[in-house]
A and B are shown apart, each in its own frame.
With several copies, the nearest count.
Chain A
């Protein structure tokens, strides 16, 4: 288990997740990069800027 850096949700990490992989937080949709496995750690991955031009 690890906590989302953006919204604090607890995220399950399946065993075959590797460092460097991206996981999406189910609550806030933030893309998180796995930076450690023991203990599990994540950081916000660079978000591509979305501009609907509205």
Chain B
């Protein structure tokens, strides 16, 4: 059995990591820290864990050594603590944004802070198996991905792999649920303000752009494509749909697209190509993914030419965070990748 500690178990990401680990057949959950909630039972903050994971939160000082440490503390804090945390476990997975970017210069640009330990950045593998499966098998540190970036990357990866699109004028229009903002309360997630909205925020300069450009570059001759991302809060708690508008490079047919997506994802355990001619569920829809680690992708060629629309839908807390973290852990620890991640999602919900 793998003993796994969780640093920062009181937030939504920490709670989701605990939910997945609670029914993971090869894992024993060790210490779960939360300074402000020490002594309280987990289920007081994560009611779904009542009778499932009967542990209490520990103060951070109680953190002992474990085979795996899941770091679920807010952005900015993980980067400071990391040198010491790396001593606390054989393998560390940081679900914050603090070790996602490979180029230290990207942090001031996209996150407005200078990274205190840039030397650590090379050691972390970007924790998306569809992009880094082989590296993850031998990694000792991985970073959980940005949720929006994951939806966009999954949607567009096949197009870049097959060289079907231009590297500029790429619009990524994202719709996202409220849980992505985390458990901290603020006016923007106050129910009377948050319910029934379609509220654009960060129409330009959204931080996840950096990850999409970083992760697609290897499939674009090493050059970062320019990604123009805009985000909208919509009336969901979980879920992301990334609608990507790209320009075809030369003549591209529907068959070319099917081949590109089939080649890229045919053998993938967690990606489904959803592009149906009939029925209610023709294109990816985050509503059917709640709680599951699937990423659904789809596409459509504009009959008037000059545009390919690509879709990526995920559950921001699972494939966009805790699920990818556990899949990376499975790979890093030599376990079958699907272990503990078989939940199919709910319908209707």
Partner-B contacts on A (CB < 8 A):
6-9, 22-24, 26-31, 47, 50, 52
Contact = CB atoms under 8 A, between A and B. Distances in A.
A8 B279 contact: no
B258 A27 contact: yes
B262 A26 contact: no
B259 A22 contact: no
Nearest to B39: A24
A28 B276 contact: yes
Contact of A7 (B54, B56, B255, B278): B255
A30 B259 contact: no
B277 A47 contact: yes
B41 A24 contact: yes
B44 interface: yes
Interface of B: 39-41, 44, 54, 56, 254-255, 258-259, 262, 273, 275-280, 282
A29 B278 contact: yes
A27 B44 CA distance: 11
Given A9-B262, A50-B279, 5 more contacts: A7-B255, A8-B259, A23-B39, A24-B40, A29-B41
Interface of A, helix, strand, loop or mixed by DSSP: loop
Contacts of B273: 27
A6 B277 contact: yes
Contact of A29 (B44, B54, B254): B44
B185 to A, nearest CB: 12
Given A7-B255, A7-B258, A8-B255, A26 B41 contact: yes
A22 B39 contact: yes
Nearest to B280: A52
A31 B39 CA distance: 10
10 contacts: A7-B254, A8-B258, A24-B56, A27-B258, A29-B41, A29-B279, A31-B277, A47-B278, A50-B279, A52-B280
